[in-house]
Amino acid sequence: MLVGYVRVSKADGSQVTNLQRDALASAGVDPGHIYEDTTSGKRDDRPGLAACLKALRPGDTLMVWKLDRLGRDLRHMVNTIHDLTTRGVGFKVLTGHGAAIDTTTASGKLVFGIFAALAEFERELIVERTKAGMAAARARGRHGGRPYTMTAAKLRLAMAAMASRDTKVGVLCSELGITRQTLYRHVDPEGNLRPDGQKLLDSQRLTTKVG
């Protein structure tokens, strides 16, 4: 069975899904088997996508108009498509940059493999940069073995690291020379600034202007 998923996009002004629905219908998707979301592709709480993924069965094929309808984060899209493949569900993109992706064909699987490799490369680059930044911060900020409080440089590194699901909080705190309490007082588990973190950055900007 062919199943479709559509999502509006503020980026290109597509506040309606008529074009996407028409394209899916032309590709053979029954209108009753099309799921829809009206929220950002960056959000995890997309009920339409969640219902769509839950409804898919082995032998089905999920179709989208463009690859970015599935999401705007490359790793999230690759992981989602990989999970579908593991479940025996195909995935096909109708147009746009990802139009060559069709996991029901050998050539389409090859293209998806390239996308997956790029996502892995991106992840490794982020990890390497984070480690290098931590090492530099440690070299500049450690004296006498005593853990230092949060600095603006450490805060920026912590924000980047916490935004990655692969980050281990204990290791991060050890690298930065701070406690978990200090870390979570400045950033939340997703790497977003908390009030103390915002005050720290505002204070640094004020000092820089005065200097």
Report whether 193 contacts 159 (CB < 8 A). Answer: yes
What's the full length of the chain, in residues?
211
- Per-residue b/e over 90-129, b at no fewer than 16 CB within 10 Å? bbbbbeeebeebbbeeeebeebbeebbeebeeebeebeee
The Cα 102–Cα 100 span in angstroms is: 6
14 is catalytic: no
State the distance between the two ends of the chain, measured CA to CA, in whole angstroms. Answer: 66
Neighbouring CB atoms inside 10 A of 189's CB total 11
The Cα 192–Cα 211 span in angstroms is: 28
Report whether 149 contacts 155 (CB < 8 A). Answer: no
Query: Residues with catalytic annotation?
Result: 9
